[in-house]
Amino acid sequence: MSSEILINSTSYEIRIALVENGHLAEFHLQRPTEKGLVGNIYRGRVVRVLPGMQAAFVDIGLERTGFLYVDDVYISNADLDARMMKRQSPCGKLEFSSSVPDTDMNRSPGMNIEDLLTEGQEITVQVGKDPIGTKGARLTCHITLPCRNLVFMPLTDHIGISRKIQDEETRNTLKERIQSLRPAGTGFIVRTVAENATMEELEADMEFLLLLWDEIQDISSRTTTIPAMIYEDLDITFRSVRDLFTAEVNSLILDDKKTYEKLLKFVQTFAPSLQSRISFYQEDAPLFEAHGIDVEISRALEKKIWLRSGGYIIIETTEALSVIDVNTGRFVGKNDLEETIFKTNMEAVKEIAYQLRLRNIGGIIIIDFIDMEEEEHREKLFNAFKEAVKKDKSRINILKLSEFGLVQMTRKRSCENLSQMMCEPCHYCAGEGILKSRRTICHEIFRKISRKAHRYTSQQITVTVHPRVADMLLKEEGTVTTELEQEIGKRLTIVPSKKLHIEKYEIIWE
């Protein structure tokens, strides 16, 4: 598989495209005014504990407080015992932290949020999910620090290996290496890119992460102003090297000289072997335009996506979930109906997996495939879908087809999807996606005039409306307009105005 990373960097935004076999597979965007927060660590203050929701709101200095669920709160065993003793006896003052050095980090069975946190308490948290819509950032006390080959979990005693490293011998070797290098009581996850990493590379990453954690703790202990950010994750350009620049990626191309030079220095320190695959783009045509990226981004913002066969899928996203509908469209098949439906669904499977990753759609997702009668086809479809999403780095859980032909799935969401990043609700329809029809508005006007006509002695009524509504009042609804005039004994004057919203109108009794 041929892959490359393209980085278009300007003063107002940085755009990153991961291209696989000539097609845009992932798109990431960062603007200085809308910088993501995932990975940042804050020293915050608990402002509200909600026993009914088993969660707390934490002020970390943002416009909205962050949300901390009970399962993401950690305290040490000693503090936990002290806390329980305090509940039994009101005497004494308790000091406790939100982190632990050993394996017993998860809350004990029966421990509630009010057992662990109190309002006004200072706590160290990390952003796990960016604020999305009206929701604040999702927080966790379980700190993770990623590097190129390893992810450091300073508060967990655990060694994990990426699921995508499937060779059992390689997994065991990596686990043994980490076991021999790590300090007691700390945790590390070996990333996919480290499958062929040497002992020296693993040790260098580990040393860097341990020093970074010491620095974060030092800053936290010296921080007097609460809330405060004590660690900011790498910007999107450096993260692209850390998270996207795998062995399968042939090249990374940048179009900004300063960014190119900064990235080379960064790579020289953390991944010298990548230097030869990084290049500076100097052609006249803009980088994204030359590779057809802008066209693919525009297509990824559309609701309807056509399939090669003539079928299509519709993607609708709400705050709670996303719904995907599969249709045969223009595809009529050659043999029988069941075969036509099966082929459309199988083609849709690949496109849906591609669109979920490209658009970064997360949360609950419901897919309405076209109903299939044969159980064999349903099984093949399910297996094909599981295979199609394997390239996706986000955690995915898929349930089998329901009796209604629906597939229910979840995809981990850590930030806004493509549409939320690049679009905003229509100021005309307020994000509803639909407007009242012109005929409905005409009938509203008729009812209002009929209801109020007896209150006024004036013989003239001026109705100011949007030009499209005015056209219907005078033409298609012209007969009704004339009948209304005769019924109320008053003359109606229709005045079109482009300044008015299509659903708004003014009735003046003269």
Q: Within a domain: residue 58? A: no
Bridge-based pairing of strands 55-59 and 14-20 is unpaired
84 with 208, same domain: the answer is: yes
335 with 374, same domain: the answer is: yes
- The answer on pLDDT for 324 being more than 50 is yes
- The answer on pLDDT for 102 being more than 50 is no
222 with 241, same domain: the answer is: no
Q: Within a domain: residue 51? A: no
pLDDT tens digits, one per residue of 423-438: 888 877 777 778 889 9
d(CA 68, CA 70) in angstroms, rounded, equals 7
Q: Which of 216, 231, 246 is the last residue of a domain?
A: 231
Which whole number is the average pLDDT over 2-15? 91
226 with 268, same domain: the answer is: no
Which region among 241-245, 291-295, 345-349, 430-434 has the lowest average model confidence (pLDDT)? 430-434
Mention every residue, 6+ apart, whose C-beta is less than 8 A from residue 45: 58, 59, 120, 121, 122, 123, 226, 227
- Mean pLDDT (the chain) is 87
98 with 190, same domain: the answer is: yes
- The answer on pLDDT for 95 being more than 80 is no
pLDDT-derived band of residue 381, with 50, 70 and 90 as boundaries? very high
In this predicted structure, what is the pLDDT of residue 97? 30
Q: Within a domain: residue 315? A: yes
pLDDT-derived band of residue 87, with 50, 70 and 90 as boundaries? low
User: Would you say 274 and 265 are in contact if contact means Cβ atoms under 8 Å apart?
Assistant: no
18 with 127, same domain: the answer is: no
Q: Within a domain: residue 401? A: no
pLDDT tens digits, one per residue of 72-81: 987 655 455 5
Give whole-number Cα distances, 73 to 113, 114, 375, in Å: 8, 11, 45
pLDDT tens digits, one per residue of 154-183: 988 899 999 888 889 999 999 999 999 999
In this predicted structure, what is the pLDDT of residue 75? 67
Which amino acid type is present at position 440? T
138 with 176, same domain: the answer is: yes
pTM above 0.85, yes or no: no
Q: Within a domain: residue 423? A: no
3-state secondary structure string, 11-69?
A: CCCEEEEEEECCEEEEEEEECHHHCCCCCCEEEEEEEEEECCCCEEEEECCCCCCEEEE
* Cα torsion through 47, 43, 139, 395, rounded to 10: 180
- The answer on pLDDT for 453 being more than 60 is yes
Closest CA to 28 of 253, 181, 237: 237
Q: Which of 295, 321, 341 is the last residue of a domain?
A: 295
pLDDT-derived band of residue 510, with 50, 70 and 90 as boundaries? confident
In this structure, what CATH number is given to the domain that contains residue 272?
A: 3.30.420.60
227 with 243, same domain: the answer is: no
Higher-confidence position of 333 and 27: 27
User: Would you say 24 and 293 are in contact if contact means Cβ atoms under 8 Å apart?
Assistant: yes
Q: Which of 208, 231, 254 is the last residue of a domain?
A: 231
In this predicted structure, what is the pLDDT of residue 160? 93
- The answer on pLDDT for 384 being more than 60 is yes
Residue 374's CB: how many other CB atoms inside 10 A?
A: 12
Q: Within a domain: residue 129? A: yes
Higher-confidence position of 294 and 95: 294
In this predicted structure, what is the pLDDT of residue 86? 52
Q: Within a domain: residue 504? A: yes
In this structure, what CATH number is given to the domain that contains residue 465?
A: 3.40.1260.20
Q: What percent of the chain has pLDDT over 90?
A: 55
DSSP state of 399: P
Which amino acid type is present at position 476? E
Q: Within a domain: residue 63? A: no
In this predicted structure, what is the pLDDT of residue 91? 39
162 with 83, same domain: the answer is: yes
Query: What would the two tokens of residue 425 be?
Result: 């609700």
Largest CA distance in the chain: 96
User: Would you say 37 and 137 are in contact if contact means Cβ atoms under 8 Å apart?
Assistant: yes
256 with 143, same domain: the answer is: no
DSSP state of 117: -
75 with 168, same domain: the answer is: yes
pLDDT-derived band of residue 152, with 50, 70 and 90 as boundaries? very high
In this predicted structure, what is the pLDDT of residue 99? 33
In the beta sheet, which residues pair with residue 190? 150, 161
Based on the structure, what is the number of domains in the chain?
4
- The answer on pLDDT for 462 being more than 50 is yes
Range of the domain at 200: 71-231
210 with 248, same domain: the answer is: no
